[in-house]
Amino acid sequence: MTNSQKVLAAVAARFGTQDPNQLQIQRWQYYDFVRLNVAGTNRLSFFSNPIGAVDPVSALPKTLEETNVRRSGELDLPFAILQIRTQIDILPMSRQPAGVAAVTDGVVQGLTAVHKVLRGMAEQGVMSLEFGQKNYFQIFQPFQKCPPGYGPSLTAIAANGAGAFPPESSFYAQSVDPRDSYAVSPPLFVEKSQTFQAVIDFFLANTPVIPQVGGANVAINVGVILDGYVVRPVQ
């Protein structure tokens, strides 16, 4: 059975017989990125600030690059979740504060201390997804269990000086292998306008303090991506 057939079967089971000629199944993602508080936090909340709302940490309005939800804690189409992904994203230098962007020894060397801290943060946290105030997922160490499964990968970093170990330049990245994504099987069907929330809690200790670079705080976004299929009327 294909994924589309599974989604249609879930719709039919919930709402009764459906005419497949009146519906189309489209691959879709709902995503939300929030700015990481560099001073540390005990909770990251996602999908609560839609497009146009102000991110409470960055104090900037969220655009389509940060989220594609249009109502707080609601999806605007019936959605079948097939995969759950997370992403720790150090913003490109062009979007960093002037002090960070002015670092001249490269992205990796200049941010080595930051990458080391992020490596530790990836070993923390528990993600909870609730739909209609009912907990459906509780995932330990979500940054490792739910990697993005896409994006660039850095394969080698030269050490500074012969035989230097560990290398003076360090880089941390989540898995970019799509086979490592957290698969939801069977798919979870979420109704249109169903209220939900996604949080990552850090129970034992807050997220670590992110060291400054060039005298400025590094801009880091953390995201949750729900990957699957939407059900919509035929155009």
Q: What pLDDT does 139 receive?
A: 96
**Residue in the block written with tokens 């807050």:** 206
As a whole number of angstroms, the distance between CA 47 and CA 69 comes to 7
Rg (CA), the chain: 20
Separation CA 190–CA 136 (nearest Å): 11
Dist. CA 22–CA 129, nearest whole Å: 31
Tell which residue, 119, 123, 174, has the closest CA to residue 146: 174
Residue 92 preceded by cis peptide, ω within 30: no
Q: Per mean pLDDT, which range of 20-29, 30-39, 106-115, 195-204 is the poorest?
A: 106-115
Q: Is 130 helix (H, G, I), strand (E, B) or coil?
A: strand
Average pLDDT score over residue span 121-128: 95
User: Which amino acid is residue 47, in one-letter code?
Assistant: F
Q: How far apart are CA 93 and CA 104, in angstroms?
A: 11
Averaged pLDDT, 111-115: 85
H/E element, 144: helix 142-145
Other beta carbons within 10 Å of 91: 17
Which has the closest alpha carbon to 32: 53, 47, 52? 47
* Closest C-alpha among 213, 4, 1 to residue 117: 213
| pLDDT tens digit sequence for 163-209 | 444 555 677 788 888 888 899 988 999 988 888 999 999 998 899 99
For residue 64, the tally of other CB atoms under 10 A from its CB is 8
